[in-house]
Structure 1
């Protein structure tokens, strides 16, 4: 049985009654197999209806009570939880003492006799009808055992007992059923419970949440709008309305948020969500305006400063992005790795390598750690500090063992770029000895083997990778392209690339491979169609070289030269592109 952890009800039981969190969580999955109930008392002891059961006052100790308490506690210490639970349950029925009942509930929870907990809770309510603790136990057990029928009166009684906290408790109502699988049953229950309180916006909001979770968006929308009629400036309800609308139309959700912001210009949360929604729809100018307004009002709020910086990066406004990122790292935020990473990128792009290194080295564990380390190593390698770059990558791998393969591949790339291809392959070969089936190592070592002319090694590695990952497109593509580029086994090359294209139909590099193998076989028109589509998806220099060559062979020389010149301006050092430019110059 898997316990439910971190739920409102578990916390309620644990705090209010001393029931262990583990035991409280286990109530949700309690077995329904037959167990003795509290009415199945041991032989020789009086039933609850026996006159002797009411001869004593609550809290009064008798020899029989003391004996049975000691008996139960000793049994509990010896691990005989079932016996201890039965003894305490019997004692609770006999004495009807609230303290004894509470202890009996605790012991029953240890014994995982949750049906007994429920009966004891009902007994407690009989004895103390106004006891909030007893009501909470009963409600908690019923929720965790998914007994939603008949629960509404108990929940209403609990809500009525704390009128001062009624709005907040209504808002927390749905959290109690977060793990209940029958969302329609939850909606029916929440509707029943909230109906007496429909004068409160929170009651309609609770029903809206339950309806949305049950997939009844029209009802959810109606209820949340009733909540907004009662509390027109309630941001939480406005956000829920937008969330419900977004399931069908992003434009409708944005319009809803815009209308609310126009009515309540200081609604920060709604304005922030509006700005993010506009970014999601790529309406950057409108988003920027919203963020500017937010920044004026909340210049030191990280939730405002960070999105402004990211949007500035998106629009290539480097000055604004850098200013906001530098401000962000002065604020109290739990993790500054992301802003340091982006600051490093900006410094790197603007030819400030030492500053970039300083920023990258402040990036901690997380999603930006690997790219920051790779960029740092790249900067050092460009400065001619190859040994230092490799040392940094190895140190980073020690700090992050799970990413060791990626760091090893990055080190091999540095060696390859430094024209030390043999050393790069040796490095990957050493890594493959430890992990012979590692897909990334197989793929990268195959590409290096091809550069060195070791075609048998390349082919064996890629075929092994296809065997390990038959649904991975890249190995099929690499092997097929290698054949096509060398004008070898062209029909097989096309079959391999077609398989890759089936697996990744919109990959520009695979489209390029298909165009190239078709060109090698003389189908220039089909080759052109594939290469044009590939180049439209990605302005890669090698794709440009292939496209230029096909256009030239089709007699469209001016177009070919224009594409090649444009590509060379962006990548003047690219070898394949450079060869194409020389080959097809006038």
Structure 2
């Protein structure tokens, strides 16, 4: 909510006046009682002379400002504009008139805007501010000649902010075609200042308004005139938009060379390099110059993708050796690095250091819960999530995510009923959320509640037809239960077509073939998936197929390997009991 100006924050005192009865109650008159003094009988009472001025609300400055702020808080900008318009007439404060004008322009009220601008002019508005307001009014009513006159007046002020406000005014116009015509007519190379930022901004505005030829021509003119990082970067963006990645990379290389202190340029260049498969080259570009949280984050991501533990350790030490304020600004990244490096206590300390005003505060709490879970401190992990659920109770998206995290922790612990309950809570926040339905379906499947699992997964596919994960999960669930195998085959075939090299899909296909009694195909498919990914569930399925074929020794070898990978795997324990009753 926009706050009222402090000079209007006066304490209003309301005096309750108790009206005294006229005259004094008398007793029965007697001959011997002296007469009361005349002053008490006939003189005017002191309160009779007290005059209380009642100010009508429309003439009460504070009341109007408060009404305007209340309307803003309730997203009623029309009422706010009316209230601030009245307030502007009651004060000599130019800031109130400025706010009245901005609100009137925002709600496209020509009469209110005209009055507010006139009042602001009398109170000392700058020529640029007045011309901008009048240009916006003209654009609103489709008066192109007047809009052009006022836009020219803005430029003519010579104000350092003139071109920035010129662009802002056109960007807010309701008629993009009208704004684009005015942009081309007024923002020409002959008139633009000797400032690359203005040229790039106008070229970018041209793209936004659909004047692509103008944007390209002005961008090329800027590139020919200026040779700074800002211009090279914009030219690279235009090349990229035209599908010329090679040209964009060359221009970004020039941008970085012209301004090695700019981390934004290095990030853009490194992103293109990494997208072309050269992670090491991207990391070198990022490391060569001043750092910020984004460069550190991308360097961490590149090293983690390559599973380069030495590089991660060096980055961790590098940030830790920076000043305290840099460490604080990068506390979340330091927590992630410590977590990857297995320094779990340090990770918790860094996540705790992430400030409440940091946009990654929520994520830091989530990672803290995951770390505590990895340490076997499940009660503490769920307590952290419970705190999140309380702190974000009024923010549905975050609350849903918190319940989802709780569910995932329960899933990883094999507490499937608790996981389903947590997913239930998330679905009460956002009914029919496909991610939460998918998670609950898996929880039901693991808990042996096949009917509920099938219901949830079918609902996911109704919401997101053809979803690969849901198709694979539903197909596997049906196959595992030995029911609706025709439907299961169609679902898994669809998933295989979408992801032919995905081991988890191959696992589902192999298990389906096992349920259909096609042991040769089941074994070959599961062996391929097991070779590709040493996943405990795939290994268990392969072992069961081998056992069914009488290859008991081979099956035991696979189970021994599964035990080394995941000794607490629920499928392993179940299969071992079945094969060795």
Which of the five TM-score ranges fits, normalised by the shorter chain?
0.5 to 0.7
Contact 2:537 2:572 in 1 (8 A): yes
**Residue 412 (structure 1) aligned with residue 410 (structure 2):** yes
Instruction: Give the corresponding residue for 1:324.
Output: 318
For 2:217 and 2:556, how far apart are their aligned partners in 1?
62
**Residue 312 (structure 1) aligned with residue 303 (structure 2):** yes
Instruction: Give the corresponding residue for 2:450.
Output: 458
Shift of 1:256: 0.9
**Residue 356 (structure 1) aligned with residue 354 (structure 2):** no
* TM-score between both structures, scaled by the size of structure 2: 0.62
Question: 2:332 aligns to what SS in structure 1?
Answer: helix
CA-to-partner distance for each residue in 1:359-411, whole Å, 9 max, x for gaps? 34445664524531332331342xxx554454444444434441452254245
1:399–1:253 Cα change, 3 Å: same
Contact 1:476 1:499 in 2 (8 A): yes
* TM-score between both structures, scaled by the size of structure 1: 0.62
CA-to-partner distance for each residue in 1:414-441, whole Å, 9 max, x for gaps? 652xxxx5xx526745985996777677
For 2:103 and 2:577, how far apart are their aligned partners in 1?
86
Identify which of 135, 140, 143 aligns with 1:139. Answer: 135
Unaligned runs of 5+ in 1: 7-13, 16-70, 89-98
For 2:462 and 2:411, how far apart are their aligned partners in 1?
26
1:357–1:175 Cα change, 3 Å: same
Contact 1:180 1:186 in 2 (8 A): yes
1:216–1:344 Cα change, 3 Å: same
> Counterparts of 1:143-182 in structure 2 under 5 Å?
143-145=139-141, 147-148=143-144, 150-162=146-158, 165=160, 168-180=161-173, 182=175
For 1:460 and 1:519, how far apart are their aligned partners in 2?
24
1:354–1:271 Cα change, 3 Å: closer
Identify which of 366, 371, 376 aligns with 1:376. Answer: 371
Identify which of 218, 221, 234 aligns with 1:226. Answer: 221
For 2:443 and 2:137, how far apart are their aligned partners in 1?
63
Shift of 1:306: 4.4
**Residue 254 (structure 1) aligned with residue 249 (structure 2):** yes
Question: 1:232 aligns to what SS in structure 2?
Answer: coil
Unaligned runs of 5+ in 2: 6-55, 68-77, 86-93, 394-398
1:487–1:138 Cα change, 3 Å: closer
Higher relative contact order (CA closer than 8 Å, sequence separation 6+): 1
CA-to-partner distance for each residue in 1:504-561, whole Å, 9 max, x for gaps? 888753453234213432557876897689679866343355568879999999x999
For 2:575 and 2:323, how far apart are their aligned partners in 1?
47
CA-to-partner distance for each residue in 1:74-97, whole Å, 9 max, x for gaps? 699999x99xx9xx9xxxxxxxxx
Shift of 1:491: 2.4
Question: 1:151 aligns to what SS in structure 2?
Answer: helix
RMSD over aligned Cα, in angstroms?
A: 5.5
1:161–1:231 Cα change, 3 Å: same
> Counterparts of 1:436-475 in structure 2 under 5 Å?
447=442, 450-451=445-446, 453=448, 457-464=449-456, 466-467=458-459, 470-471=462-463, 473=467
For 2:199 and 2:473, how far apart are their aligned partners in 1?
58
Identify which of 339, 342, 359 aligns with 2:333. Answer: 339
